[in-house]
Structure 1
Amino acid sequence: MDLSNNHFSGNIPGSIGGLQKIINLSLANNYLKGPIPGSFKTLLSLEFLDLSKNNLSGVIPKSLEALLYLKHLNLSFNKLQGEIPTGGHFGNFSDDSFVSNGALCGSSRLHVPLCKYRTKVEPNWRKAKYIISGVMSIILLAAAALILVLCRKRNVEVVRETALLPQVLWRRVSRLELVRATNGLHESNLLGTGGFGSVYRGTLSNGIDIALKVFNLQLEEAFKSFAKECEMLSNIRHRNLIKIISYCDELDFKALVLQLMPNGSLEQWLYSPNRSMTILQRLDIMKDVALALEYLHQGYSIPIVHCDVKPSNILLDDDMVAHVADFGIARLIGSGDSMTETMTLATVGYMAPEFGMEGSVSTSGDVYSFGIVLMETFTKRKPTNEMFVGEMNLKQWIADSLFLNAAIDEVVDADILGTEEDGDFVSRRDCLSSVMRLALACTAALPKERINMKDAVVALNKIKAKYLKDSGGVNS
């Protein structure tokens, strides 16, 4: 019986105990109040009980311990209080079953306060024994911590170029805190869903707004993706790379706490009807992406290949500054990682030819993907657009337009080109032609014929400077 997501109010009737053969019962996400009826103890066949997201109060009846077949219990997001029972199947339930009930107490594994019991007054000598033991334990722990810090400091000095300092500064957070921060991972907080999991908007207890990337652990690849992102993001720092704030690594819950990007992704800006970007905004965003890739390829001790550069992985902050995200399948050049997963998980349309046919991973593959994104940003056409069939693709479409000079007008986004009556139409068209030539230089068929990201950054700076000069600095 599923009665969830309605507008039921009032108390749960005690007569519910008459449903003695019921196996699954959900009353979640209603407006029910009052206590949990003790008559639940007669539902001896019950295997699944969900009373979450109501206004239930009082204690959790110990009589629920008698439900021998109960495998799933969810009492989260209510106003329950008192001790969480420990008998029956309660020993198998996790903290998820009791999240956001402010006055519950019980075992520390459930992330609730310990219950306070009256204890007998102990003799002073026994108290002294405990105090001495406690002091000795603290001294030993402090000594161990000091040794660990000294060893870590020495290791950091030996491999200073790996820049591991940010990892030390991460604050590991609990699943409970993250569930609370995202309103119970509620749909209204969902920002998007990807291949390995979902991303939620949330606010930590200290007031910091976050994006929470929760990995779908039913997928074997998600475990590897979580480990890969932790590895990559702990070792790299750049203004145009997404910043990790914290993480949660529990047996059945793995998540990354990331810097929230309020303006969403480049993909959303390109294809949302109520959003638009100027030529200069698009140039600046692509320059930000180029700088991030240049750092990954040349600014780190070992070159890093992102492997999945695409508009949905380019996120924008309050000031429309771009940050490259999603390092789930990134690779360190020469690390010996298997390339099979990368070939499978990289995105069709943005993948370099040698990537898909041979599994060859190199920085040139990222340059190719950057070139495709550059084309898409200024044409507002996806490489998988249905218009591209047979031998015709986004790259060929652009190349053909450049051979026929006037045809550039037909391929770029009309919103930024304007009309010939506009005062800076010629400067706009020249700018867009230069952008497309750069994009083609990035997407040469052979990897060795492609430019590198450092040269791409220089080219974008020149294109922007020339456009500002020719257009008289008009912000268009």
Structure 2
Amino acid sequence: MGGNRLDGTIQANICNLNDLYFLALNNNKLSGRIPSCLGNLSSLTQLYLGSNQFFSSLPPSLWLNNKIQVLDLSSNHLSGSISLNVSLLSSITDLFLSSNQFTGEIPSTLGQLQHLVNLTLSVNMLHGHIPRSFGSLAGLEYLDLSQNNLSGVIPLSMEKLQYLIYLNVSFNHLTGKIPDGGLFRNFSTQSFMGNDALCGLQLRACESPEHGESRKVRSLLKYVLPTLALILLVAIFVIVALRLRSKNTKFQDGTSLEPHHFMRKRISYYDMLRATDNFDESNLIGNGSYGSVYKAKFADGVIAAVKVFNLDSRGAFKSFDSECKAMRDIRHRNLVKVIGVCSNLDVKALVLEYMPNGNLERWLYSFNHCLDFVKRLEIMLDVASALEYLHHNYLHPIVHYDLKPNNVLLDEDMVAHLGDFGIAKILTLHNQAAQTDTLGTIGYMAPEYGAVGIVSAMGDVYSYGILLAETFTRKKPTDEMFSGDLTMERWISESFPRNIMQRVDGNLVVEGEENFAVKQICLKSIMELVLQCTQDLPENRINMKQVVDALKKIISKFHQH
């Protein structure tokens, strides 16, 4: 019964089904508590309750079923700690607990689950250390502990994991040297980013204990303590001075700090001129509907992208304000970072993080660029993660409203970042849809945009579905073949599932290659996800939490083989 629009609660009388061994209620709108009696169904081997709205802590009886093999509780509102009794799930192979509100430490008893293959605990509020017992998970292939509050070192015992294909401990508070034995040397920096005190492998070099600890002590005694009082005095002086100038402060060249609440860094117009060689054409990265983007090298060595708005263009002021408002407080690894802003009567510009590998459009359609299956999948997961944050993990949901390959930017590690919020809309909790007279990009817009001008998160989901289809078919939704009643989504749905491989980019699948069969299965799952995103009616589409979960499972399935 997964993937429907079921709401309400799970009734306890479902537990009268004594011979039930498979229960799938995932991707619905179910809420309430998970019935404790589910733990008493001794025949139950697979339980899928992910992507719903369940809350409260988990019933203790759920850990007592020693026959259960798959337990998916991801993307709910579950809280409390993970019980030490998790070790009683002695048959479990797949445990998905990500995107909840679990607190406490990761139980060391997880290391007793000898059949465990996939473990996801990401996007929770777990703290403490990664248990050394994880080194005993002999069959573990997929481990995601990202976006928690974990601290301490990565246990050396994990070097013994011979089958570990995917590891993600990013965006925690981990410290020390990354193990370099076993399969760890195969993992990229993406697995460890967002941990400022980690070192080794592709990250910064580790300091020796002598150069590290003793030097820190000497520095503290010699430099920090004598100057601490002076720093405090200077800080007080600066705060007082800034308060006196906080209203509509001007630089000497007339550059205003408005909107002052948005500023990351003060960028003057003259600094931008010098950094771009007077906006020389050789530094031009691209042109958009509301302005141009230049590569800039500032005096401090920082390389950035300067987006200058064309003030003669209709809607440029509105676009600038929208982008400032949308990006004022958001922080996510897959969103383009704003460094600063320059705003006066003559100039409106944003200074953005520079993306040396350009955009997805370039990589899909240039003859001298190539993206393999896995990299396309990772890029689309990056984009989906950014949208999930904007729609679900932010106080006021933000609709990007202009998803397309040009707005998917790639950094030096080919990690995708979503950019260009020029026509984004911020929705309130009381108004989950808004009307607009500003159009997105033809081919990517949801049907309701053109019909009644309604902007909502579900419109982004539709656009994402088109982007996902384009990424794996290498066909633009504006291709001349799509005319009349034939649209991108209809082109895919008419061939699904039997002939769907005829729609896929021929560069992705080579008959006879080692992973040919599993790649076909994964591509069918991707095209099914496209159809779930591009339903005509917004209420029939899945949401971005469900998209992220689906993509993670596809990646996991591919890596298992």
Same structural fold, with TM-score higher than 0.5 when normalized by the shorter chain? yes
Q: Does 1:277 align with 2:371?
A: yes
Q: Does 1:416 align with 2:508?
A: yes
Of residues 206-215 and 424-433 in structure 1, the stretch that sits farther from structure 2 once superposed is 424-433
Counterparts of 2:332 and 2:341, CA distance in 1: 19
- Structure 1 residues 431, 215: CA separation in 2 closer, same or farther (over 3 Å shift)? same
Counterparts of 1:140 and 1:288, CA distance in 2: 43
Counterparts of 2:309 and 2:393, CA distance in 1: 29
- The residue aligned with 2:345 is 251
Q: Give the alignment partner of residue 486 of structure 2, picking from 377, 380, 392.
A: 392
- Answer whether contact 1:202 1:211 (CA < 8 A) is retained: yes
Structure 2, unaligned stretches of length 5 or more? 1-235, 247-259
- The residue aligned with 2:540 is 449
Counterparts of 2:261 and 2:507, CA distance in 1: 43
> SS where residue 444 of structure 2 aligns?
coil
Q: Give the alignment partner of residue 196 of structure 1, picking from 290, 315, 320.
A: 290
Q: Which amino acid aligns with 1:408?
A: I
Counterparts of 1:244 and 1:142, CA distance in 2: 23
- The residue aligned with 2:435 is 339
- Answer whether contact 1:355 1:361 (CA < 8 A) is retained: yes
Counterparts of 1:441 and 1:243, CA distance in 2: 30
- Report 1:264-343 matches (<5 A): 264-334=358-428, 339-342=435-438
Counterparts of 1:217 and 1:146, CA distance in 2: 31
Counterparts of 1:192 and 1:391, CA distance in 2: 33
Query: How far did 1:145 drift?
Result: 4.0
- Report 1:29-428 matches (<5 A): 143=240, 145=242, 170-334=264-428, 339-342=435-438, 344=439, 346-403=440-497, 405=498, 407-418=499-510, 420-428=511-519
Counterparts of 1:146 and 1:443, CA distance in 2: 50
Query: How far did 1:341 drift?
Result: 3.2
Q: Give the alignment partner of residue 432 of structure 1, picking from 503, 513, 523.
A: 523
- Structure 1 residues 174, 458: CA separation in 2 closer, same or farther (over 3 Å shift)? same
Query: How far did 1:278 drift?
Result: 1.0
- Structure 1 residues 279, 140: CA separation in 2 closer, same or farther (over 3 Å shift)? closer
- The residue aligned with 1:112 is none
Q: Which amino acid aligns with 2:534?
A: T
Query: How far did 1:409 drift?
Result: 2.4
Q: Which amino acid aligns with 2:387?
A: L
Counterparts of 2:515 and 2:410, CA distance in 1: 28
Query: How far did 1:314 drift?
Result: 0.6
Counterparts of 1:378 and 1:341, CA distance in 2: 32
Provide Cα deviations, 1:405-426, integer angstroms capped at 9, x if missing partner.
1x222211111111x2222211
Structure 1, unaligned stretches of length 5 or more? 1-138, 150-165, 471-476
Provide Cα deviations, 1:5-51, integer angstroms capped at 9, x if missing partner.
xxxxxxxxxxxxxxxxxxxxxxxxxxxxxxxxxxxxxxxxxxxxxxx
Counterparts of 2:281 and 2:244, CA distance in 1: 46
- Answer whether contact 1:431 1:463 (CA < 8 A) is retained: yes
Counterparts of 1:316 and 1:142, CA distance in 2: 38
- Structure 1 residues 317, 167: CA separation in 2 closer, same or farther (over 3 Å shift)? farther
- Answer whether contact 1:282 1:377 (CA < 8 A) is retained: yes
- Structure 1 residues 140, 348: CA separation in 2 closer, same or farther (over 3 Å shift)? same
Query: How far did 1:203 drift?
Result: 0.4
- Answer whether contact 2:322 2:423 (CA < 8 A) is retained: yes
- Answer whether contact 2:262 2:324 (CA < 8 A) is retained: no
Q: Which amino acid aligns with 2:353?
A: Q
TM-score in terms of structure 2 length: 0.53
Q: Which amino acid aligns with 1:386?
A: E
- The residue aligned with 1:158 is none
- Answer whether contact 2:434 2:454 (CA < 8 A) is retained: no
Query: How far did 1:219 drift?
Result: 1.4
Return the structure number with greater relative CO, CA threshold 8 A, min gap 6: 1
Larger Rg: 1
- Answer whether contact 2:377 2:555 (CA < 8 A) is retained: yes
Query: How far did 1:246 drift?
Result: 0.9
> SS where residue 213 of structure 1 aligns?
strand
- Answer whether contact 2:434 2:455 (CA < 8 A) is retained: no
Q: Which amino acid aligns with 1:265?
A: N
Provide Cα deviations, 1:361-397, integer angstroms capped at 9, x if missing partner.
1100000000000000000000000111111111111
- Structure 1 residues 408, 208: CA separation in 2 closer, same or farther (over 3 Å shift)? same
> SS where residue 287 of structure 1 aligns?
helix
Provide Cα deviations, 1:192-233, integer angstroms capped at 9, x if missing partner.
000000001110111000111010000131111111111111
- The residue aligned with 1:461 is 552
TM-score in terms of structure 1 length: 0.62
- Structure 1 residues 465, 190: CA separation in 2 closer, same or farther (over 3 Å shift)? same
Aligned residues: 311
Query: Identity rate of aligned residues, in percent?
Result: 50
> SS where residue 442 of structure 2 aligns?
coil
Provide Cα deviations, 1:282-329, integer angstroms capped at 9, x if missing partner.
111000111100000011111111111111101000111111101111
- The residue aligned with 1:21 is none
- Answer whether contact 1:167 1:235 (CA < 8 A) is retained: no
